[in-house]
Chain A
């Protein structure tokens, strides 16, 4: 799904000589989900993604959307979680956002990664389908940062250091 979207966004940008708007991208993902709903009903596969993007339009800021399996999209301000372990993660993020040291939107990158690692670890504790961190084999989650400069994948070393310092 990510591959289809990436190609269609690039194709749009190259042919139309401008970036697809955020609304356009959000709808494109929604349409993919709707088209996939037949498979969901057959039990073949269910996909419930989060869509995060940096909108460099009139009001430049990060934007976050979550979806349901039928393709309805909901924009959220502070956080989104999906997957089998998401109830636990959502609980932590809600708590952090409301009564934590500071709201999620004001966290630094390191702090945000720490919260994400702790949340994933908590979810993995009670949900076998959540990967979490494999402490023996030193396998860490994939973390990507979406910012004005583009999308970067956090190097594993940095995740390992943060994990060692504030989670393990």
Chain B
């Protein structure tokens, strides 16, 4: 039955739809490159969503906690093995995603009898300079989108994931218009919060389809910050320590927001 090509295509389409519906409620995650590093940011109340993968690589993920944990472990194991046998400088996010994670996700997604991974991930790798920062989105079917520029597309200093395609696109449109690479940490934090708010407003069937008005974003942001926990982490460009990842404390975030 499923051996017929048409059935297989149909099964894959159904599966894609099912996964999208499972991910639809996922709280957005924004990663913003600023002058001294990369800021990861999300709001939520349930569980940790931002993780350290290796010295210079961080991950944010939405989806099923079990699947996220398996993928996170796989990523850490691969990066650590590479870092141990060669050196930390040889661990690259590009290789990790393209060579190791993407094929696994694709295989699990397309083998109709096995379970797929219910996860959408956002990775970032901090470079020597801001121009070499890499942002990478990895989908449940192994698809990869990066921030690198081509002749048709400008290089972006941010990355975003959200529950739905529409929400992600709105966040990217907003960040593309508002964010400038040389931004300070405080500015990146505010832009990131705004992007999160927009992504959040765009979720669900009744979500906004276009960028909401400034006041709407501000009031929603205020309301959310009051009721929901904020999780943030940074990758620092400062090379005093080999480990660049650091989770931010609530006090740090509040003082940067000027509260």
Q: A: which residues have CB within 8 A of B?
A: 3-4, 7, 10-11, 14-15, 17, 150
Chain B residues with CB under 8 Å of A4's CB are 84
Q: Are A14 and B84 closer than 8 Å at their CB atoms? A: no
* Residues of chain A within 8 A of B52, CB atoms compared: 14
Q: Taking CB as reference atom, which chain A residue is nearest B52?
A: A14
| 11 more A-B residue pairs beyond the given contacts A7-B84, A15-B76, with a C-beta to C-beta distance below 8 A | A3-B84, A7-B83, A11-B76, A11-B77, A11-B80, A14-B51, A14-B52, A14-B76, A15-B72, A15-B73, A17-B48
In the complex, whether B53 has a CB less than 8 A from a CB of chain A is: yes
- Give the Cβ gap from A16 to chain B, nearest Cβ, in Å: 10
Interface residues, chain B, CB within 8 Å of chain A?
A: 48, 51-54, 72-73, 76-77, 80, 83-84, 241, 243
22 A-B pairs with CB atoms under 8 Å apart are: A3-B84, A4-B84, A7-B80, A7-B83, A7-B84, A10-B80, A10-B243, A11-B76, A11-B77, A11-B80, A14-B51, A14-B52, A14-B53, A14-B54, A14-B76, A14-B80, A15-B72, A15-B73, A15-B76, A17-B48, A17-B51, A150-B241
* Chain A residue nearest in CB terms to B79: A14
Measured in the bound complex, the distance between the Cα atoms of B52 and A46 in whole Å is 36
Q: Tell me the nearest residue of chain B to A3, going by C-beta.
A: B84
Q: How far is it, in angstroms, between the C-alpha of A111 and the C-alpha of B73 when the chains are bound?
A: 45
Interface centre among B48, B51, B80, B241 (most CB of A within 10 A): B80
Contacts of B243 in A (CB 8 A): 10
Bound form: Cα–Cα A3–B243 in Å: 15
Distance to closest chain B CB from A3 (angstroms):
8
| Neighbouring A residues of B48 by C-beta, 8 Å | 17
CA distance in complex: A103, B76 (Å):
45
- Please give me the residue from chain B that is nearest to A150 by CB atom: B241
Report the minimal beta-carbon distance from A11 to chain B, rounded to whole angstroms: 5
Point out the residues of chain A lying under 8 angstroms from B77, CB to CB.
Answer: 11
A1 CB → nearest B CB, Å: 13
B245: nearest chain-A partner, CB-CB: A14
**How far is A15 from B70 in the complex, measured between Cα atoms in Å?**
10
Measured between beta carbons, the chain B residues less than 8 angstroms from A150 are 241
CB-CB under 8 A from A15, the residues of chain B are 72-73, 76
Least CB distance from A87 to B in Å reads 36
User: Which A residue's beta carbon lies closest to that of B73?
Assistant: A15
CB-nearest residue of chain B to A151:
B241
Q: CA A10 – CA B88 in complex, angstroms?
A: 12
The 5 closest A-B pairs by CB, nearest first: A7-B84, A11-B80, A14-B76, A14-B52, A15-B76
| Residues of B with C-beta under 8 A to A7 | 80, 83-84
Chain B residues lying within 8 Å of A14, measured Cβ to Cβ, are 51-54, 76, 80
Residue of A4, A17, A150 with most chain B CB atoms under a 10 A cut-off: A17
- Shortest distance between the CB of B79 and any CB in chain A (Å): 9
Closest to A152 in B: B240
Chain A residues near B72 (CB, 8 Å)? Answer: 15
Shortest Cβ gap from A19 to chain B (Å): 12
A7 to B88, CA, bound (A): 10
Most buried by B among A4, A15, A17: A15
